[in-house]
């Protein structure tokens, strides 16, 4: 009887391990398929392209696009605390206290009180994107001022959605701070590049070019 009990326990443990452990290659497999725009948006922070983003990688990503140490650290903690637990794949247990974000399931982390430019599956919705500028770009048709951005955030608010409001506010204010031009305009092509996932790579590349140029002088 004791042997039977031990065998059952061992079998249960083995099954649990199979269910909770997903090989690194399986998680990285997301990159073997066409990524959704939302996955492309977040993939920049997957620095080793293993399909899992840890806070240290998000910190590195923010530093790579020019954010300071404090802002990068805050962003990593905030984003992973907000999104990490929501993106864990089914039948898998995330490592304790590490708050990883899983690229494959990033659509599960989509919050409310947003622009709706990403749909529930993380796909780009052109009509919603164009609507941002049709409704709120009063000064110029192809850019937003800080005041117009605040107007948009106010309109996007959903009742009793503190999480979504904070998430939306933080994302847009950070984007505006990093990417507004000298006259305070956040340009339409810049916002589009955020949604299609190309902006962060462009910003990192430009910073590298500036550093390389400075070394040659």
User: Using one digit for the tens of pLDDT, what is the confidence trace for 116-129?
Assistant: 999 999 999 999 99
Mean of pLDDT over the chain: 88
Mean pLDDT computed over 20-46? 83
CB atoms within 10 A of CB 112: 17
Q: Which residue reads 């997957």 in tokens? A: 46
Q: Model's pTM, two decimal places? A: 0.83
Please report the pLDDT score of residue 20 as a whole number: 41
Please report the pLDDT score of residue 12 as a whole number: 39
Split at pLDDT 50, 70, 90, the class of 25 is low
Question: Furthest-apart CA pair in the chain: how many Å?
Answer: 80
Which conformational region is residue 51 in: left (phi greater than 0), alpha (psi within -120 to 50 degrees), or beta? left
Q: Which pair of structure tokens corresponds to residue 151?
A: 């107007």
Helix axes 188-196, 199-216, angle to 10 degrees: 110
Split at pLDDT 50, 70, 90, the class of 216 is confident
């Amino acid at each position: 009887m004791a042997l039977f009990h031990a065998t059952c326990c061992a079998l249960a443990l083995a099954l649990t391990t199979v269910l909770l452990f997903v090989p690194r290659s399986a998680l990285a497999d997301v990159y073997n398929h066409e990524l959704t725009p939302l996955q492309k948006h977040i993939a920049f922070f997957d620095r080793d392209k293993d399909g899992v983003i840890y806070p240290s990688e998000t910190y590195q990503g923010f530093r790579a696009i020019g954010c300071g140490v404090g802002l990068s650290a805050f962003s990593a903690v905030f984003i992973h605390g907000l999104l990490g637990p929501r993106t864990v794949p089914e039948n898998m247990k995330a490592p304790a206290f590490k708050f990883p974000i899983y690229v494959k399931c990033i659509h599960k982390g989509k919050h409310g009180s947003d622009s709706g430019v990403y749909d529930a599956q993380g796909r780009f919705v052109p009509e919603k994107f164009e609507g941002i500028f049709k409704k709120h770009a009063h000064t110029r048709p192809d850019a937003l001022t800080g005041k117009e951005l605040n107007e948009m955030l106010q309109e996007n608010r959903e009742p009793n959605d503190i999480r979504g409001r904070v998430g939306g506010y933080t994302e847009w204010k950070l984007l505006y701070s990093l990417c507004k031009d000298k006259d305070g305009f956040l340009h339409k092509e810049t916002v589009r590049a955020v949604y299609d996932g190309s902006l962060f790579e462009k910003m990192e590349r430009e910073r590298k070019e500036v550093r390389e140029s400075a070394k040659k002088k």
